[in-house]
Structure 1
Amino acid sequence: MEQIKLTNKQARHFILLKQGLMGNYKFIGEQGVCDYIKQAGCIQFDPIDVCGKNPELVLQSRVEGFSKDMLYKLLYTDRKLVDYFDKNMSIFSIEDWKYFSRQRAAYGRNVRSKDQIDAVIDEIKAIIKEKGFVSSKDVNFNKQVDWYWSPTTLSRAVLEALYFQGELIIHHKKGTIKHYFLANEHIPEEILNTHDPNITQEEYFQWGILRRIGAMGMLWNKPSDAWLGISGLKSANRNIAFEKLHKEGKISKILIDDISDEFYCLSEDKPLIEAVLNDGEFIGRTEFIAPLDNMLWDRKLIRKIFDFEYKWEIYTPVIQRKYGYYVLPVLSRDSFIGRIEVVNDRKSKQLIVKNLWFENTADSYNCLYEDIEDCIERFASLNNCKNIVLECKIER
């Protein structure tokens, strides 16, 4: 079997070009949002909004002209995208709905407090049909039932159960409040009723592995957070799937100088590999990267290839944090050069730059201050901030 040999620099360039984080922007406007998500399979959702929610931060670093309204429109007006479970809670193309029928069926079989939920499902569906869309506050079933995270109201449990099973989708969100409506009235029939193309569990595992490799650009056959959401995938299944995909020529093995591990890319990305092998220099960019960015789904891999260790410290006790609550990696050219903590103060409409940490001495990055300032200004624009407040020193 063919093996691709890359230097460390070439491996970085391949990943960054695949991600749309090097060279001129290849994802532009609304179509660019759809194109990137189609390439990545999904982007991970998280509701915490310090300087933008995670999917917004993923897209701002890749999509020229991106705004928060753009993603909202594609989700809740145009319905080209949908919120559902892939790698945890995610956003993906509505065209991929068919691939998740086994997850929806599993949720239906295993839902918690099933008897209490089943007793009122028809009544709640009738309420939704009458009102058009509802949140849990619009459905007055306040009895407490056992639920996944903690006891909750029957209203919320039923709506979430129907959402997990794919009978409801999100109509819109107001803050963190989800408003649901009936999937069969709003997803086109040719999408809603298409059978899952993955007939066997083995096909499903192969599809999931290809999807995750495409999301990161390059992956290894090791335990990884990148595999989250591929239901039932264990190391034995993963080994079999990798071997079959490689034998069938769907993935290509990559060896990187001075790294003993083997990596894999999609074979369809060979033209990008050729470009990296034939052209040693690409236009570099400076971008702030989301904490749950697709590129960071396997942080051990990033440490191995980019020599950068990143921990999202949001769940780390304050006294144990090395950096801060919501800190973003700073990518410049083909390296992670530091971390930045920026906060959107909505009351004052100010973007507060709380701190900037460089990986090496600040003098090493004198030529990048203008690029960093440009990123800060773009973040201010993304968050509709009128002013930028520097609580740390940014020198030239």
Structure 2
Amino acid sequence: MIKIKRPQDLARLRRLALAAQGLLQAQPYGRGLAGARKAINQLGYVQIDTISVVERAHHHVIHSRVPAFKPAMTNQMLLDGDIFEYWAHAAAFLPIADFRFSLPYKHAIKSGQTHWYKTRDKKLMGELLARIRSDGPIRSRDVETNTSKRAGWWDWKPAKKALEQMYMEGDLMVSDREGFQKTYDLTERVLPSQVNLQMPSMEEFAAHIVEQQLRCHGIVSLKGLTYLRRSTDLRKTVKALVNERLAQRTLEQVQVDSGEVFILETGALERRLPRVNSRMLILSPFDNSVIQRERLKTLFQYDYQIECYVPAAKRRYGYFCLPLLYRDEFVGRVDCKAHRKSSHLEIKSLHLEPHSFDEDVVLMAFVEAITIFSLFQKCDSVSLTNANPKRLTQRLQRALKPLG
């Protein structure tokens, strides 16, 4: 096992992680729709989230990696059969090539080994399935029931719950989206003909996870490989496979000062890494690179928490603070809100943490990043309320004035 002691060795680990995530180069996957396809194939999934304070997470993640990406391209990939919608560790868009690896979870739900909803209305499910088979795709809002509308996702109408249950079991797929309005259709009518439908063995599933995670993260922990996957058998099989590959010396381990052990391909530390781009990226709280918070803290010494679920009085940085990545370090966070009616991006607060970079350069990088970000939000003006350190507030307000 390699012990990571020197700062330059930890920096190499960070570079490996960021390069695998497509965050070091300006356009690692190309541009536009073609680049978006390659990005999702590399990342393995893009999380779908409903929060709309700024552009939604599934668009934001791709935008951070693909120049000329437009939000409409996500649904275009869905319509073209390049991606499909299902559950990863959360609702997500996934590469269509990985479809067969969604089958074990679907089977577990359908067979009752695990539950999506505790009770299923099988009669209603059968009626809806027959209607879709005869009449074509259906949107959940097209289904009329006598149930009064109540607030909260736990009070979804019975018909919507039935559609969602059949989607999770695999009988239905999302064939189209209009915002967060899903259109459901029979799986056999949605899937491209070339898709592999063979149920993977546990060993095949474990190999897929190990290879995918090494590809998209560069370095992984044993815990991170099965992040939020609850299958004990899968975890045991993944662990056995990792131990086998360590014994074969196709994988090796490194240990950082905290004691955390990471796994990577043998020789990865010696590879030539992409040069660091002197730019700042404003990332989504649900970005693949930051979603495993413990890993983020261990590798980057960046303690991050999304605070929209924290009571307002206890928030430190804001409702929806976004991580700031400069070169190969996380240097702060920014709390923004896009006011779409007035096309205005409000920066409620910017927090810069101690770093070793030239302050002027970092501030210039932030102004450039927020300019690009505001265009992505379709905002033509920007304002800043507060910055930390406070001495930077007026300076940044002046720098942002041309955007206001």
TM-score of the aligned structures, taking structure 1 as reference length? 0.86
Q: What is the CA-CA distance between 1:230 and the residue it aligns to?
A: 6.0
1:300 equivalenced with 2:294 (yes/no): yes
2:11 aligned to 6, 9, 12, which one? 9
Query: Which amino acid is 2:45 matched to?
Result: C
CA distance in 1, matches of 2:155, 2:258: 48
Aligned partner of 1:375 in structure 2 is 369
Q: What is the CA-CA distance between 1:100 and the residue it aligns to?
A: 1.4
Aligned partner of 1:89 in structure 2 is 91
Q: Is the 8 A contact 1:98 1:194 kept in 2?
A: yes
1:42 equivalenced with 2:36 (yes/no): no
CA distance in 1, matches of 2:191, 2:36: 20
Alignment of 1:70-149 (within 5 A): 70-75=73-78, 77-110=79-112, 111=115, 117-142=121-146
CA distance in 1, matches of 2:263, 2:357: 36
Helix, strand or coil for the counterpart of 1:330? strand
In structure 2, list runs of 5 or more residues that go unmatched: 387-392, 400-404
Q: What is the CA-CA distance between 1:361 and the residue it aligns to?
A: 8.0
> Compared with structure 1, are the counterparts of its residues 240 and 124 closer, same or farther at alpha carbon in structure 2 (3 Å cutoff)?
same
CA distance in 2, matches of 1:218, 1:73: 32
> Compared with structure 1, are the counterparts of its residues 380 and 190 closer, same or farther at alpha carbon in structure 2 (3 Å cutoff)?
same
> Compared with structure 1, are the counterparts of its residues 271 and 240 closer, same or farther at alpha carbon in structure 2 (3 Å cutoff)?
closer
CA distance in 1, matches of 2:60, 2:270: 27
Q: Is the 8 A contact 2:285 2:291 kept in 1?
A: no
Aligned partner of 1:220 in structure 2 is 221
Aligned partner of 1:32 in structure 2 is 35
Q: What is the CA-CA distance between 1:172 and the residue it aligns to?
A: 2.4
Aligned partner of 1:390 in structure 2 is 384
Q: Is the 8 A contact 2:347 2:385 kept in 1?
A: yes
CA distance in 1, matches of 2:351, 2:233: 38
Q: Is the 8 A contact 2:331 2:355 kept in 1?
A: no
Q: What is the CA-CA distance between 1:390 and the residue it aligns to?
A: 2.6
Q: What is the CA-CA distance between 1:359 and the residue it aligns to?
A: 0.4
CA distance in 2, matches of 1:216, 1:359: 25
In structure 1, list runs of 5 or more residues that go unmatched: none
> Compared with structure 1, are the counterparts of its residues 19 and 182 closer, same or farther at alpha carbon in structure 2 (3 Å cutoff)?
same
> Compared with structure 1, are the counterparts of its residues 367 and 171 closer, same or farther at alpha carbon in structure 2 (3 Å cutoff)?
same
Q: Deviations over 1:283-306 (max 9, x none)?
A: 333101111111113222221221
- Using CA pairs under 8 Å that are at least 6 residues apart, name the structure with larger relative contact order, 1 or 2: 1
> Compared with structure 1, are the counterparts of its residues 187 and 239 closer, same or farther at alpha carbon in structure 2 (3 Å cutoff)?
closer
Q: Deviations over 1:207-239 (max 9, x none)?
A: 3233333332212224x5961246446765553
Query: Which amino acid is 2:213 matched to?
Result: R
Q: Is the 8 A contact 1:287 1:375 kept in 2?
A: yes
Q: Is the 8 A contact 1:88 1:228 kept in 2?
A: no
Counting matched residue pairs gives 381
Query: Which amino acid is 1:275 matched to?
Result: R
Q: What is the CA-CA distance between 1:357 and the residue it aligns to?
A: 0.4
CA distance in 2, matches of 1:133, 1:250: 47
Q: Deviations over 1:264-293 (max 9, x none)?
A: 1245xx5685104xx8x5333310111111
Q: Is the 8 A contact 2:345 2:374 kept in 1?
A: yes
Helix, strand or coil for the counterpart of 1:83? strand
Helix, strand or coil for the counterpart of 2:91? strand
Helix, strand or coil for the counterpart of 2:271? helix
Identity rate, percent: 23
